[in-house]
Every structure is written in structure tokens, then in C-alpha cells.
């Protein structure tokens, strides 16, 4: 019987890694010498390998944070104060070096140390799953093409090319993509997920995800700017003319949600060993550990899958209208990016640093369905961790917004007013007030702050023509007019817990 097991070493404070092999070799030598006392064996290991690191504690003082936001109204000031409180909690986590908040910042949850939307953090040699959230790689993708027919007909074609709502595509209507054939499914965070990944190809989900048809005027000054900043390849594909543009916004669907779930489970176990009193939302995985390296590889694949999903929708749309892609561009805004030993986490933050070739990155920033989508070049403002906003953000929750429009007549009037002049489709049936322009911050103010803080430079604006969003399917009990009884709520929660437990058992 071994003097010490791996669990004993972990309980003593040692972190799993390649050193464990050397430690077990040393323990085998001690056993041959007849040493059987655990405490004495740990003392001898400490002489050779050093004492285990003390458990990490939350800092008393938060790491520095830079604010690229200027609140103006009372709602905005209240919103920013809530964001500051959340960032103050999060920036006391020992592995986080710095943080920043963007002009679209708003709280994302009531738990302690939950990163706000529009928040970004620089983390030392660690990945915090909750900081990229379950919607891993929520991202933008745009395809430039020549108009084939009127907007309404193209929106009809787009409706058949994509899918919105809960669940996944019908099993008789699955879409294959070569990304499914990548040799990744033995990764512990991806094992058993291929069928789930297949079911969500050409599927956008619900909430604020959308498919947007717009138009852009490419002029000589835009082409010159692209060439001057190193994007000559994109400039060469475009002419000085008007293009239609399809822009999609979605994340990694069920695939990413389950990768996050597994990552968070590993992070909680690691932080329990390595830290004391770390909030669950701040639990991290050591990026240099075997689990950390494997989680990073899973994240990289999820990014690849999500881009393939965008391309699948765009390809299906163009096939239906008899069109062809002239050029495309895209970016993530819920993700983790490695830069040296730092892992930059953005929860609704657009990368705006220079790429490996020294070019400012291209990004897409939507504001709301009735406003242009901005095509930007990153400003690489290091004090703000070189991010830009991912959109316009909210000043109040969906629930608070609905309270402002208590009856159906007022809701319909606001929806009609705020979407006048554009063709808006609600894939699941009913309009969703919480995704109309009134739900978001003032678009002009957010755009002004992008320039004021030097976060990015706008090189083009994709003007809105039409948009498809999930809409209100009426499937959520939260959307019903009649409140549920306490018994009904307990029954729903019981079924939810039972499904989660059964799913966990199947996966592990």
C-alpha cells in the first residue's frame, strides 16, 4: 500500500501536474527504506520539492479597473454603480490582475463576483469559466453580397436558412458541416458532444441573437483605410459600391453550454483545493495544468465550431437567393484570448488590439435592430485592456422593462414605434419587447463613447433593412400573464433538477 496517494498530496496543498510523477518516484524510494509514516513522508517531500503553496485568498483591496463609460441619465448612473459593485467583488479574486468596463456595461446576475456584461479582465495563468459564461464564443459574422431581390423576399429565404428558439433542429432537418469531423471528441470537455454539436448547426437560439439584413456604401476612403491598416486583402475583394450585408449574432448553443458546465465543475474542484472562500462565479482552472490545457483546447474548438455555424447559415441563405459571398468578417465577444501568460476574458467585449501582424483588428458592434451595425478598427487602448463594447447594453433588466409597459396595447405601440421603417420578423411568433430598441442604451451615446475613449474607429456603418429575432415563444412560465402557484413552481424546479441530475449521470 502506498504511503501517500494523489488525494493525500492534493489535500496537503500540492497542485496536480507533472511534478506528481517525480513525487511518487521519491515515495517509492521511501517505501523501500521502510518509511510508512504519512507525516514524516510529507516532511521529506517538502525538503525536496518545497512546501505546498498556501491557499489563495480573496484580496482585501480590488485590482485596478479602468472605466470607458460616461453615465448621463439617472438610470445610467444607477446601472454603472451596480456594475462597479460587481467588478469590485470580482477584482478581489487573487488570479485577476486588472479589469475594465465598456460603454455597454450592465449587471449580469445577482451572485457574488459575477462579471457584468461589458466587463473584461486580465487573468494570470488561469481561466475562469463563468467569466466567459455558458454562451461561449457569442459572436458576430458579416457577409457582403450583391442584392438579388427585395428585402422581404430575402428575409423569407433567410427564415428558412436559420432557426431560432429553444431546443435544437429537428432530427430530420440536421445540417452537416466539416467542423463536426475534427478529431476532438476524446477531449474530456467534448466527449459525447458530437451529436449535440450536429443538432445545433444552422441554429441561433433565442434572447438577443439575430439575423440582420443591411446595406453598406463602400467608398474610396473606406478602402484606403483598410489598405493603410493592413487589411488590403479585404479591400481587394470590395469595390466602391453599395452592398447588401447579412450579419448574424449567436454563440455556441448546446455545445458551448455543456463545455462551460463541465469546465465550471472542474474549476470549482480546483478552487476548493487551491483557494479559500472563492465565490463560485470566480472559480478558476490553472491554465498550465492538464485540465487547463485540455479546457483551452476545448474552447478553441468551440470557437471554430461557432464560426462554422455562422458560415453554414450564410451559405444556406446565399444558396436560396442565388447569391455569392463577396467578402466576410467576424469577431467573438464572449470568449477568452491568450496573450503571453495572461488570459483576457471578455463578457460582451469586442477584441480591439493589434493582431500578430500588427494590424488593428476588425470588429462588428451592433447597437439595436433599428440602428446601423458598426464596422470598426480596434483602437488598442491598453489601459482598457484593448477591448471595445459588444453592443449598446441595457440600463434595466427585461423584467423591469416589461413593468414599464404593463398592458398589451402599450407594448404593441412601443414595438411599432421603435421598429418603424424596417422589416422585423419574430421567428417563434410573438414580438419580444425586451429585444426592441427601447430595451437598449442610447445608440448615439454608446457610439460617441467609443470615439471619446478611443476604443475603436468606425470605418463603415451597415444600415438596417430587416431583422429576424427569436421572439416570444410563450414556452417560458416567466412570460405568462397568469402567475404560477408556489406548488407549480416547486414542481417545475423538481423536474428541472431531475433532468439535470440525469444528464450529469449520462455525461460522466
Least confident window among 90-104, 343-357, 361-375, 472-486: 472-486
Q: Which among 57, 105, 104 has a CA at the least distance from the CA of 85? A: 105
Domain with CATH 3.90.1860.10 in the chain: 139-475
Rg over alpha carbons for the chain, rounded to the nearest Å, is: 25
Mean pLDDT of 159-187: 95
pLDDT band at 505 (very low <50, low <70, confident <90, very high): very low
Evaluate the CA torsion angle 480, 138, 128, 385 in order and state its sign.
negative
- Residue 200 confidence (pLDDT) above 90: yes
Confidence of residue 474 (pLDDT cuts 50, 70, 90): low
Q: Comparing C-alpha atoms, which of 466, 465, 462, 464 is closest to residue 218?
A: 462
Confidence of residue 508 (pLDDT cuts 50, 70, 90): very low
Residue 151 — very low, low, confident or very high, per pLDDT cuts 50/70/90?
Answer: very high
Least confident of 289-293, 390-394, 437-441, 477-481: 477-481
* Main-chain phi, psi angles of 124, to 5 degrees: -85, 115
Q: Beta-strand (E) ranges in 237-341?
A: 242-250, 275-276, 285-286, 327-332, 334-339
Higher pLDDT, 503 or 456: 456
The model's pLDDT over 50-71, given as tens digits with 9 standing for 90+, comes to 888 777 889 999 999 999 999 9
pLDDT the model gives residue 55: 79
Using pLDDT thresholds of 50, 70 and 90, give the confidence band for residue 40. Answer: very high
Query: 103: which 3 cell numbers?
Result: 460603454
Give the Cα separation of 336 and 464 in Å (integer). Answer: 30
Distance, CA of 479 to CA of 134 (rounded, Å) = 22
Q: pLDDT by residue (tens digit) across 332-367? A: 999 999 998 899 999 999 999 999 899 999 999 999
Q: What is the pLDDT of residue 333?
A: 96
What is the pLDDT, as a whole number, of residue 504? Answer: 47
Cβ neighbours of residue 45 closer than 8 Å, sequence gap 6 or more: 4, 23, 26, 27
What confidence score (pLDDT) does residue 476 get? 46
CA–CA gap between residue 393 and residue 118 (Å, rounded): 8
- Give the span between the Cα atoms of 226 and 224, in whole angstroms: 5
**Stated pTM of the model:** 0.85
Choice among 32-46, 247-261, 322-336 with the minimum mean pLDDT: 32-46
CATH number of 139-475: 3.90.1860.10
> Is a pLDDT exceeding 50 seen at residue 176?
yes
Tell me the pLDDT band of 18, cut-offs 50, 70 and 90. confident
Q: Which candidate, 134, 56, 119, 125, places its Cα nearest to that of 93?
A: 56
Would you say 386 and 350 are in contact if contact means Cβ atoms under 8 Å apart?
no
Residue 490 has pLDDT above 90, yes or no: no
Of 42-56, 176-190, 249-263, 280-294, the poorest mean pLDDT is in 42-56
Pairing of strands 126-127, 117-124: unpaired
Q: How confident is the model at residue 488, as a pLDDT?
A: 65
CA distances from 330 to 61, 280, 289, 306 (A): 37, 32, 31, 11
Q: Which three cell numbers stand for residue 503?
A: 444528464
pLDDT of residue 443: 94
Q: What percent of the chain has pLDDT over 70?
A: 92
Q: Which residue has the higher pLDDT, 102 or 273?
A: 102
Average pLDDT, the chain: 91
pLDDT average, residue stretch 184-195? 97
* 55 and 63 Cβ atoms separated by less than 8 Å: no
pLDDT at position 8, please? 85
Banded model confidence at residue 479, pLDDT cuts 50, 70, 90: very low
Q: Is the dihedral of CA 77, 393, 298, 337 positive or negative?
A: negative
Full 3-state SS string of 128-196: CHHHHCCCCCCEEEEEEECCCCCHHHHHHHHHHHCCECCCCCCCCCCCCCHHHHCCCCCCCCCCCCHHH
Backbone angles phi, psi at 337, to 5 degrees: -125, 135
Residue 221 is predicted with a pLDDT of 96
Nearest-angstrom CA–CA distance, 286 and 278: 14
Cell of 460: 463603415
Q: Would you state the pLDDT for residue 507?
A: 45
pLDDT classification of 401: cutoffs 50, 70, 90: confident
**pLDDT tens, residue by residue, 239-278:** 999 999 999 999 999 999 999 999 999 999 999 888 888 9
Amino acid at each position: 500500500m502506498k504511503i501517500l496517494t494523489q488525494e493525500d498530496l492534493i489535500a496537503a496543498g500540492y497542485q496536480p501536474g507533472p511534478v506528481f510523477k517525480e513525487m511518487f518516484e521519491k515515495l517509492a524510494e521511501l517505501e523501500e527504506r521502510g518509511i510508512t509514516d504519512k507525516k514524516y513522508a510529507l516532511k521529506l517531500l517538502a525538503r525536496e520539492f518545497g512546501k505546498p503553496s498556501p491557499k489563495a485568498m480573496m484580496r482585501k483591496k480590488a485590482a485596478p479597473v479602468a472605466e470607458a463609460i460616461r453615465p448621463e441619465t439617472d438610470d445610467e448612473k444607477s446601472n454603472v454603480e451596480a456594475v462597479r459593485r460587481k467588478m469590485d467583488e470580482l477584482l478581489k479574486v487573487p488570479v485577476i490582475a486588472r479589469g475594465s468596463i465598456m460603454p455597454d456595461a450592465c449587471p449580469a446576475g445577482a451572485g457574488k463576483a459575477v462579471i457584468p456584461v461589458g466587463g473584461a479582465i486580465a487573468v494570470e495563468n488561469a481561466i475562469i469559466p463563468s467569466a466567459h459564461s455558458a454562451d461561449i464564443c457569442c459572436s458576430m459574422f458579416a457577409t457582403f453580397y450583391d442584392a438579388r431581390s427585395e428585402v422581404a423576399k430575402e428575409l423569407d429565404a433567410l427564415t428558412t436558412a436559420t432557426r431560432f428558439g429553444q431546443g435544437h433542429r429537428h432530427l430530420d432537418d440536421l445540417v452537416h458541416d466539416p467542423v463536426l469531423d475534427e478529431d476532438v471528441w476524446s477531449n474530456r470537455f467534448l466527449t459525447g458532444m458530437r451529436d449535440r454539436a450536429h443538432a445545433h448547426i444552422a441554429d441561433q437560439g433565442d434572447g438577443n441573437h439575430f439575423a440582420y439584413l443591411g446595406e453598406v456604401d463602400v467608398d474610396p476612403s473606406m478602402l484606403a483605410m483598410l489598405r493603410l491598416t493592413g487589411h488590403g486583402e479585404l479591400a481587394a475583394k470590395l469595390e466602391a459600391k453599395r452592398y447588401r450585408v447579412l450579419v448574424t449574432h449567436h454563440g455556441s448553443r448546446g455545445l458551448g453550454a455543456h463545455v462551460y458546465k463541465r469546465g465550471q465543475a472542474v474549476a470549482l474542484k480546483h478552487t476548493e483545493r487551491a483557494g479559500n472562500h472563492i465565490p463560485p462565479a470566480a472559480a478558476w482552472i490553472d491554465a498550465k495544468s492538464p485540465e487547463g490545457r485540455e479546457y483551452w483546447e476545448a474552447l478553441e474548438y468551440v470557437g471554430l465550431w461557432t464560426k462554422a455555424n455562422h458560415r453554414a447559415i450564410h451559405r444556406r441563405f446565399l444558396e436560396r437567393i442565388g447569391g455569392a459571398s463577396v467578402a466576410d468578417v467576424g469577431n467573438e465577444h464572449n470568449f477568452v484570448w491568450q496573450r503571453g501568460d495572461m488570459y483576457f476574458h471578455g463578457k460582451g467585449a469586442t477584441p480591439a488590439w493589434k493582431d500578430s501582424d500588427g494590424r488593428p483588428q476588425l470588429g462588428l458592434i451592433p447597437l439595436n435592430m433599428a440602428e446601423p451595425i458598426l464596422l470598426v478598427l480596434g483602437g488598442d487602448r491598453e489601459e482598457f485592456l484593448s477591448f471595445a463594447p459588444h453592443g449598446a447594453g441595457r440600463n434595466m433588466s427585461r423584467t423591469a422593462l416589461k413593468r414599464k409597459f404593463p398592458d398589451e396595447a402599450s407594448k404593441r405601440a412601443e414595438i411599432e414605434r421603435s421598429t418603424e421603417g424596417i422589416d422585423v420578423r419574430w421567428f417563434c411568433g410573438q414580438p419580444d419587447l425586451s429585444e426592441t430598441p427601447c430595451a437598449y442604451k442610447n445608440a448615439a451615446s454608446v457610439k460617441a463613447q467609443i470615439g471619446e475613449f478611443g476604443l475603436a474607429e468606425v470605418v463603415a456603418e451597415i444600415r438596417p433593412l430587416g431583422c429576424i429575432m427569436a421572439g416570444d415563444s410563450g414556452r417560458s412560465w416567466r412570460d405568462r400573464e397568469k402567475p404560477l402557484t408556489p406548488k407549480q413552481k416547486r414542481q417545475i424546479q423538481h423536474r428541472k433538477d431531475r433532468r439535470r441530475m440525469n444528464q450529469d449521470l449520462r455525461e460522466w
